[in-house]
A and B are shown apart, each in its own frame.
Chain A
């Protein structure tokens, strides 16, 4: 009961804070909705409203070339009565945040981060409990800004967190379904499928003490995943009146990057500058670069599948086509699960300083470029480079720390000593 009371207190205070921000500062949601750091062309709440307007007026929402989001979201938001649209969507997004936090708490309490089937960290005792991790998520300013700005990536994040939570509680079926939803909403989570299957497999093998061969397990759940996806697409097809038009305006927009609105990522500037004839080639290169890490990580960190997912989420936050603060907040939600490796990280101060520097200067440089006119695109692009540098520093450093943690099991006599990579 003690834990429940703490949880209730956490959720209550997080809700209060968000309600306060929503209703005491009525202009804040619209301000944040318009920020490029929060709303990308594929997740923007404004575009969702546009699509919703068209949808409720019986016009195909994909006609205008503005709306790039999945059709299921339309039918969800169409349920909300328009007279109470703003307050009810606020409540919906608050509820989503709480759901995310709940999933995180489940993941934390499963203890998967410190001790998986194949590996138990020698620093296992050093960890934060679920409530603390939930609080770190709920009171993260990035998360709060994302919640107020209401991008639809919150739905994706929630689905990903639930996929992980179900996986660590030994329910592979629901886990894969949740991942299917996530990748239906925004394509890229499909790359999480291999580590998630590994995670499900490890968890099931540990709990049931009987191990089916991993290949049959993988085939079974991969086909389940694709069946889920096809089912979602089929439902969408029915919802949009039997047309497949939505595929080209949702998934191919993410794949082919036709909208080069500035965002925090690295793609937009590059593709503005790129010669047209090389555009397709470099789209391929960028996507392969994003996907290329999956195989290497799955092999190298095979013993800690949850960490593969965490690192991939970090990589997505840097290298995916339309990244936003909500992707960063998801990575920062998963990272505290690895409290025990923090002492092994070497550049925490540098990385955190870079992140802070970029998050303060980013909006300023954007303002200089777009509104004041005294800067240019390079200003903003430079600061997004710094931001990505900070994030990749954290990703690389945490990877180093986890590998060193594994290595110390192999060679206990090296604990606490300085090491060097050769």
Chain B
């Protein structure tokens, strides 16, 4: 396309006219004025090329590579920058014991615990709580008439705060008439009640105690699953490092070193446990800052056509979502779909006369969701979607259960959960074609359990607050590792592809990620897990943002040979006349100098 234009340029430059070739007469010599003008014209074109073209070229095609702290990033990825530890504070309240006794008991229990624990990163630290009751106990010696002064009230508030820090409170209570100690975990708080016979209190001089061993075992049992999960996450990440250790930056020595560090937890997990954890990990969803929850009511007939989902959600689900909000945010939407039929591949329910129920075959459960016709969108907006389906079977095929297990709910890995709400349960509480709040309560409770397992919360211990705390730690650990490995990938990518641009935004994102990773690591060390999670979330978000920076990805696949293809077609037609005329002119100048 430049050809016409260059013709203009060339026309005024190399303009010399002479007779046609058939005339043998030599053309008269050019005027010196003409030569001078031609030289000036060539110089003027070259001036544009050199003084404007070259700077433009350098300026617009230079690849901006912001400096990244490569070594630090790789250190994080290799686990050298931070060895996450999970010190759990456990407060022991022993209001009835003397201070010295209590301290001794705590000391012995700690010993027993340390003997039991094989996984050094995750350990329990006992401390004696200055419990609310203990100051008042001491105050008991003070005359009753004297009121508690303000300072003491403050003191007790601080104690409260103190207790917030600890993962679990063990409340020791003496109980007459029992032989051995027994314990009960409160399911809605983080308190473990331990009842012991008064004679079990070890004397200050004794070196072993059944009570201490009992408490230690009980605690170890409570946190066994969490330890296993964390060990599993850490070992998974170590395996990831091994598979990427052939990068130029990781020498074999450091790779094997890190393997050594990380392979220790492996001993903790027996193969059976590992398989169980792996299946749970595949079932649960990848972490996202926001999840969408879609609640759907499906029915093959025209009724029920509505449900009191709004109030039911507010009552049964929202409190749970609020308490997990430190981990992830949730948005909820609901839908009702009438005349929803099974997909043709699913066998029709069979009647089981023995139990008076209709049964679905277990192998059909995976195809139960009619993906082609049921409007369950795969994803809305940024985060992944969790689908919870409430299926109300037709009157004629009710009650409907799964053959064999007689279960009426199941969970589809990475996708959501299904609950079949059988009519006779519903009949009692539904008014006309509307499912009442009470009718869908059991379904929502099932959904809540399913939701927790999708988020990766452990099954034990049975106390919900403890589960959520565990979830916090697990998420903090996995986000820490995932952000670290993203940093490592980014560093290796930067080294491997010297031609990609690294904008300032990436450098900023890396800096933010690293600083938040440091905060996370320190917070974990100090046992401030909510803070650690908060920082890990920021780190993960920033790491992803830096790694998937759009302007960086665009140039990844642009080898140097392509540049020739880009430059040549356009610059060739412009460049050839420019270079040829410059050469011709230089030749002429050379010749004339020689002639002189």
Q: Chain A contacts of B558 at CB under 8 A?
A: 275, 277
Q: A291-B48, A300-B41 are in contact. Are A422 and B8 (CB under 8 A)?
A: no
Cβ–Cβ < 8 Å partners of A291 in chain B: 48, 52
B4–A318 touching, CB < 8 Å? yes
Interface string of A166-188 (1 = CB under 8 A from B): 00000000000000000000000
B2: interface (CB < 8 Å): yes
Q: List which B1-48 residues lie within 8 A (CB) of chain A.
A: 1-2, 4-5, 7-9, 11-21, 27-28, 31, 37, 40-41, 44-45, 47-48
CA distance A404 to B555 in the complex (A): 50
Asked if B568 CB lies within 8 Å of chain A CBs, one says no
Q: A284-B56, A284-B60, A289-B574 are in contact. Are A319 and B17 (CB under 8 A)?
A: no
Which residues of the partner chain A approach B570 to less than 8 Å between Cβ atoms?
A: 282, 285
Determine if A318 and B5 form an interchain contact, defined as CB atoms under 8 angstroms apart.
Answer: yes
Tell me which of B1, B40, B554 contacts A299 (CB under 8 A): B40
Q: A37 contacts which chain B residues (CB < 8 A)? A: none
Contact of A396 among B2, B8, B52 (CB under 8 A): B8
Decide: B44 and A296 in contact? CB cutoff 8 A.
yes
Task: Assess whether A255 is interfacial by the CB under 8 Å rule.
Answer: no
Bound Cα distance A396, B12 (Å): 9
C-alpha gap A297/B52 in the complex (Å): 18
Does B319 have its Cβ within 8 Å of any Cβ on chain A? no
Tell whether A407 pairs with B17 under 8 Å between CB atoms, given A396-B8, A396-B11: yes
**Max chain A CB contacts within 10 Å: which of B17, B20, B44, B53?**
B17
Contact A278 B566 (CB under 8 A): yes
Within 8 A of B (CB), among A375-422: 385, 388-389, 391-393, 395-396, 399-400, 403-404, 407, 410-411, 414, 417-422
Complex interface: chain A residues within 8 A of B31 (CB): 410
B61 adjacent to chain A (CB < 8 Å): yes
Nearest-neighbour CB distance to chain A for B552, whole angstroms, equals 11
Are A403 and B15 closer than 8 Å at their CB atoms?
yes
Residues A288 and B15 in contact, CB atoms below 8 Å apart: no
Chain A interface SS verdict (over half): helix
Q: B57 in the interface, Cβ–Cβ < 8 Å?
A: yes
* Identity of the chain A residue whose Cβ is nearest the Cβ of B56 in the assembled complex: A284
Q: Which interface residue of A276, A280, A293, A407 has the most chain B CB atoms within 10 A?
A: A293
**B571: Cβ under 8 A from any A Cβ:** yes
Contact present for B57 and A300 (CB under 8 Å) = no
User: In the complex, which residues of chain A have a beta carbon less than 8 angstroms from the beta carbon of B20?
Assistant: 418-420
With contacts A289-B2, A417-B19 taken as known, whether A280 is within 8 angstroms of B60 at the C-beta atoms is yes
> Which A residues are CB-close (under 8 A) to B44?
295-296, 299
Asked if A266 is at the interface (CB within 8 A of a chain B CB), the reply is yes
A393 to chain B: closest residue by CB = B4
Cα distance A418–B15 in the bound complex, in angstroms: 15
How many chain A residues touch B (Cβ–Cβ < 8 Å)? 50
A349 within 8 A of B: no
Residues of B with C-beta under 8 A to A281: 56-57, 60-61
Interface status of A333 (Cβ within 8 A of chain B): no
Distance A301 CA – B16 CA, assembled complex (angstroms): 14
Q: Is A270 in the interface zone, CB < 8 Å from B? A: yes
Contacting residue for B4 out of A293, A389, A407, CB 8 A: A389
B220 vs chain A, min Cβ distance (A): 58
A388 x B4 contact (CB < 8 A): yes
User: Are A295 and B8 touching (Cβ within 8 A)?
Assistant: no
Which chain B residues lie closer than 8 Å to A318 at the CB level?
A: 4-5
Docked pose: A300 CA to B27 CA in angstroms: 21
Contact call A419/B17, Cβ cutoff below 8 A: yes
Taking a contact as CB atoms under 8 Å apart, the answer to whether B1 and A293 are in contact is no
CA distance A411 to B49 in the complex (A): 34
How far is A287 from B1 in the complex, measured between Cα atoms in Å?
15
The complex places the Cα of A293 from the Cα of B571 at a distance, in Å, of 16
Q: What residues of chain B lie closer than 8 Å to A284, measured between beta carbons?
A: 52-53, 56-57, 60
- Among B12, B13, B41, B501, find the residue whose CB has the most chain A CB atoms closer than 10 A: B12
Cα distance, A117 to B27, chains bound together (Å): 29
Chain A: minimal CB distance from B383 (Å): 29
| Contact of B37 with A300 in the complex, beta carbons under 8 Å | yes
Q: Kindly state the separation between the CA atoms of A142 and B1 in the bound complex, as whole angstroms.
A: 24
Q: B8 to chain A: which residues have CB within 8 Å?
A: 293, 311, 315, 392, 395-396, 399
Chain A residues with CB under 8 A of B2:
289
Q: CA separation between A299 and B38, bound complex, in Å?
A: 9
Q: A280-B60, A284-B60, A403-B12 are in contact. Are A299 and B7 (CB under 8 A)?
A: no
Q: Please tell me if the beta carbons of B1 and A292 are within 8 angstroms of each other in the complex.
A: no
* Contact (Cβ within 8 A) A275 B13: no
Docked complex Cα distance between A294 and B473 (Å): 70
> Which one, A288, A385, A403, contacts B52 given CB within 8 A?
A288
Point out the residues of chain A lying under 8 angstroms from B52, CB to CB.
284, 288, 291
| Separation of A236 and B554 alpha carbons in the complex (Å) | 39
**CB-based contact B57/A392 at 8 Å:** no
Give the docked Cα–Cα distance between A421 and B15 (Å). Answer: 7
Bound-state Cα–Cα, A361 to B17, Å: 37
- A299-344 residues at the B interface, CB under 8 angstroms: 299-302, 311, 315, 318-319
Residues in A whose Cβ lies below 8 Å from that of B41: 295-296, 299-300
Q: Are B1 and A420 in contact (CB under 8 A)?
A: no
Q: Provide the B547-587 mask, 1 if CB < 8 A to any CB of A, else 0.
A: 00000001100100000001000110010000000000000
Within the assembled complex, what's the spacing in Å between the Cα atoms of A362 and B444?
Answer: 66
Q: Which of these, B7, B53, B61, B554, contacts A288 with CB under 8 Å?
A: B53
Tell me, in angstroms, the Cα distance from A367 to B355 when the chains sit together: 73
How many Å from the CB of A110 to the closest CB on chain B? 25
Within the assembled complex, what's the spacing in Å between the Cα atoms of A292 and B578?
A: 12
Residues of chain A lying within 8 A (CB to CB) of residue B28: 411
Contacting residues, chain B, for A411 (C-beta < 8 A): 28
Q: Which residue of A lies closest to B4 (CB)?
A: A392
A204→B52 CA distance, assembly (Å): 33
**Closest Cβ–Cβ distance, residue B196 to chain A (whole Å):** 73
Bound together, the chains give a CA A414 to CA B501 distance in angstroms of: 61
Most buried by B among A281, A315, A400: A281
| Contacting pair B9 A292 (CB below 8 A) | yes
Closest Cβ of chain A to B567, distance in Å, is: 9
> Measured between alpha carbons, how far is A241 from B287 in the docked complex, in Å?
49
Interface centre among A411, A417, A422 (most CB of B within 10 A): A422
Q: Are A296 and B45 in contact, with the CB atoms below 8 A?
A: yes
With a CB–CB cut-off of 8 A, which chain A residues contact B501?
A: 277
Residue of A266, A296, A302 near B1 (CB, 8 A) is A266
Q: Report A's interface with B, CB cutoff 8 A.
A: 266, 270, 275-278, 280-285, 288-289, 291-293, 295-297, 299-302, 311, 315, 318-319, 385, 388-389, 391-393, 395-396, 399-400, 403-404, 407, 410-411, 414, 417-422
Q: Jot down 7 A-B pairs with beta carbons below 8 A, ordered by A.
A: A275-B558, A284-B60, A295-B41, A302-B37, A388-B4, A411-B28, A421-B16
Supplied contacts A288-B49, A410-B31, 8 more A-B pairs, CB within 8 Å: A278-B566, A281-B60, A285-B571, A292-B9, A295-B44, A418-B20, A419-B20, A422-B17
Going nearest first, the 6 A-B pairs with the smallest beta carbon separation are A392-B4, A284-B56, A295-B44, A280-B60, A281-B60, A300-B12
